[in-house]
Structure 1
Amino acid sequence: MLAFLGDYTIQNVAIGAALLGIISGVLGCFAVLRKQSLLGDTLSHAALPGVCLGFIVAGARDLGAILTGALATGALAALVVLALTRNSRLKTDAALGIALSLFFAVGIVLLTYIQRLGNAAQGGLDSFLFGQAAAILRGDLWVMGGITLVAVALVAALWKELKLVTFDPVFAASLGLPVLALEVVLTVMIALAVVVGLQMVGVVLMAAMVIAPAVAARQWTGRLESMVVLSALIGMAAGVFGALVSALNRGLATGPLIVLAVSALVLVSLLVAPGRGLLWEAVRHRRAARNLKSQQVLTTLYRLAAHHGAAGYRSEQGSLDTYHGLHTRRALARLAARGLVAPVRHMPQEAVHWRLTPAGVAEAERVLGRLDEERA
């Protein structure tokens, strides 16, 4: 195992995946909370023309030039989205769709143009569409690490401002904060995250890395500070796991495995996260339905007793079943376990009857009183 982890290529891929998980996890939180989940998809597709332009300018597959071009076109697409939403009646989703399709179309045209040039250095350039993690070199890691460090440092330096703009931009503007400038900085930083992930997972899958860790983290906490840290850890864990699985199974692409790993973490979080998980929600719903049924039976017994002018009036179980259109045996058993009702025999040959206990009368009056207050 130590020999396996000591492999040069595996080390590069694992470190690159960890860096990608950190930057996408941190910055993706702001995109999710600002309800701009499509922003990562738009910026990743908008990076393709920058990849092509970087190659054309450098004349070779130089990672620095390619990432610079990707950042430039990604940032430009972000500014186009901001301009469209602020200066037109277009909603954010429409502006994102326009920018995504326009920039990606330009990127495909430029990619086709490069392929017709006959430049031998273009080999593997189309790998930026789906990623090629095995091609990452140690020098590339320094570039990715530098970008990650800059992005995280900016978030730390502008933490209070970014937090306020994310949750209440109107209040932030009333305090005199440059809301537009902060939104531009935040959007450009998300473009930085996209740039880091281009070689690892590619243009097509990068959107998942921006959004998925933040979505998973959001299920476990209600505080932004905890969400950012947890999102970074989830992104890093998914990245390293996907990279190691890819290394153990030759022929399996690293990028898709990373996305599958982080998607699995999202699914688990959606299902079992305390307070927000779907399973907990199903348990609460079932419990609420049971309580409602018990309250309905209890108040029915109370009204029947009030109608007959006897607090200890005995109601037949069959009558209760007919009234509610359901079997009330379980509800009555739960009420009896709580000491609110008691079974009685009206006559030996007849079915079980039920009456309210003093505690049941008090509970029924409390429930009916609360219902009256809600109606008022």
Structure 2
Amino acid sequence: MDLQEYIQLVFTDYTLRTITLGTAILGAVTGMLGSFAVLRKQSLLGDAISHAALPGIAVAFLITGTKDSNILLLGALISGLIGTFWIRGIIKKTHLKSDTALGLILSLFFGFGMLLLTLIQKQPNANQAGLDKYLFGQAATLVESDVWMMTLVTGLCLIVLLLFWKEFKILLFDADYTKTLGFNTKLIDILITSFIVLAIVLGLQTVGVVLMSAMLLAPAAAARQWTNSLGVMVLLAALFGAFSGVLGTAISASQNNLSTGPVIVIIAGVFVLFSFIFSPSRGLLFKQIRFIKNRRDLKLHKTLAFMFRIAETHENIAHPHSIKILNNFQGFTKGTLQQLVRKNYVKLEGSMWSLTDTGFKTATNLYNQQNKDDD
């Protein structure tokens, strides 16, 4: 399936259109909310919440005996909120740190959920089949009502972010200062955490319990590499998440036997990898380029300073000196000398060099600055 055929199918095929819209909206809302989880250093929160939602799905089925997605996701939401507030309680009431509390709740709830799923699978009830799709997700089961629900949650999320943007921003970077301003930090924290739980629960049907945390963190981690502005980061994370959903769905639809959820997560991972390498401010490539440039500049300054000390012993700074003298200087290279010539700091004639007026003034400034630093 080529790109043109896929675009046509998006507009004509109900299932593909529903999945594409659903994954795009899911990626956008999880990217936005994931930005706050990443900046608050709660990267394991998404993993803990998604795993904590599993027993809620199982209990909801045991109570109702139906696989209605709305009922199952309601159970997941309740279970996820319980797990989240248990984590908060453990952190506040004990001496355990957040990563320990997150890992404890994650393993406890997930183990309990797997136990319940095993019991359900052994029941003589044909209706119990298919609950395991919530482990790894099954985007093909999305229907139009699911997309409308995701759209509603995304709209509510945007409204809340706009209304409480100042409070969220202050709490994110300085919780103590937020308290001194009179804001209810506990209420604000509960509000944003509840929306994170809700977004994760909505994504369980598409991506699954195991991979949902990647949808929350990957777009935000990629966006963080490109900006220092919270607003820009939230916007970029939403775009990265939406594009991951659309591209993942397109690749999954064009190939046989490729699950949509894992492909979406892989695409999100590609965005993260690309950002880690090519981001101008934090990318590994540009960091290496800056490192090489700084090392080259340092070598150039050292060579120029060495030349300055030699030229100081002569009345005429244009006095020709042999390159043999430079060969005894540690760090000297012919490439460095050529750079000095291109900058018009040095004149080079055969094996003889001499400082120009520009080079002498630059070297004087470097020498004086070095003496100030030493003092």
What letter corresponds to residue 341 of structure 1 in structure 2?
A: V
> TM-score, normalised to structure 2's length?
0.93
Q: Please state if 1:337 is matched with 2:342.
A: yes
Q: Please state if 1:202 is matched with 2:195.
A: no
Assess if the C-alpha contact under 8 Å between 2:303 and 2:332 holds in 1.
Answer: no
What does residue 4 of structure 1 align with? 9
What letter corresponds to residue 374 of structure 1 in structure 2?
A: D
* Structure 1 stretch displaced more, 140-149 or 22-31: 140-149
What does residue 165 of structure 1 align with? 171
What letter corresponds to residue 23 of structure 2 in structure 1?
A: A
Assess if the C-alpha contact under 8 Å between 1:43 and 1:77 holds in 2.
Answer: yes
Q: Aligned to 1:199, what secondary structure does the other structure show? A: coil
Equivalent residue in structure 2 for 1:96, among 95, 99, 102: 102
State the alpha-carbon separation in 2 of the partners of residues 195 and 68 from structure 1: 8
What letter corresponds to residue 135 of structure 2 in structure 1?
A: L
State the alpha-carbon separation in 1 of the partners of residues 252 and 59 from structure 2: 30
1:1-376 matches, cutoff 5 A: 1=5, 4-5=9-10, 6-306=12-312, 311-312=317-318, 314-324=320-330, 326-344=331-349, 352-376=351-375
Assess if the C-alpha contact under 8 Å between 2:31 and 2:220 holds in 1.
Answer: yes
Once the 2 structures are TM-superposed, how far is the Cα of residue 309 of structure 1 from its aligned partner? 6.8
Once the 2 structures are TM-superposed, how far is the Cα of residue 193 of structure 1 from its aligned partner? 1.4
What letter corresponds to residue 336 of structure 1 in structure 2?
A: V
State the alpha-carbon separation in 2 of the partners of residues 40 and 374 from structure 1: 48
> TM-score, normalised to structure 1's length?
0.92
Q: Aligned to 2:352, what secondary structure does the other structure show? A: strand
Distance 1:114 1:272, change over 3 A: same
Deviations 1:69-93 (A, max 9, x none): 1111212222122222223322222
What letter corresponds to residue 336 of structure 2 in structure 1?
A: A
* Structure 1 stretch displaced more, 215-224 or 233-242: 215-224
State the alpha-carbon separation in 1 of the partners of residues 301 and 372 from structure 2: 16
**Structure 2 residue ranges without an equivalent (≥5):** none
* Structure 1 stretch displaced more, 67-76 or 265-274: 265-274
State the alpha-carbon separation in 2 of the partners of residues 37 and 53 from structure 1: 27
Once the 2 structures are TM-superposed, how far is the Cα of residue 310 of structure 1 from its aligned partner? 6.1
Once the 2 structures are TM-superposed, how far is the Cα of residue 223 of structure 1 from its aligned partner? 1.4
Distance 1:183 1:304, change over 3 A: same
Q: Aligned to 2:211, what secondary structure does the other structure show? A: helix
Assess if the C-alpha contact under 8 Å between 1:26 and 1:152 holds in 2.
Answer: no
What letter corresponds to residue 210 of structure 1 in structure 2?
A: L
What letter corresponds to residue 360 of structure 1 in structure 2?
A: G
Q: Aligned to 1:342, what secondary structure does the other structure show? A: strand
Once the 2 structures are TM-superposed, how far is the Cα of residue 142 of structure 1 from its aligned partner? 2.6
Assess if the C-alpha contact under 8 Å between 1:22 and 1:236 holds in 2.
Answer: yes
Deviations 1:139-175 (A, max 9, x none): 2223333333333322222211111111111110111
Q: Aligned to 1:176, what secondary structure does the other structure show? A: coil
Assess if the C-alpha contact under 8 Å between 2:9 and 2:17 holds in 1.
Answer: no
Assess if the C-alpha contact under 8 Å between 2:299 and 2:332 holds in 1.
Answer: no
What letter corresponds to residue 49 of structure 1 in structure 2?
A: P
Instruction: Give the % identical residues.
Output: 40
Distance 1:203 1:113, change over 3 A: same
Number of residue-to-residue matches in the alignment: 369
Superposed CA RMSD in Å reads 1.9
Q: Aligned to 1:129, what secondary structure does the other structure show? A: helix
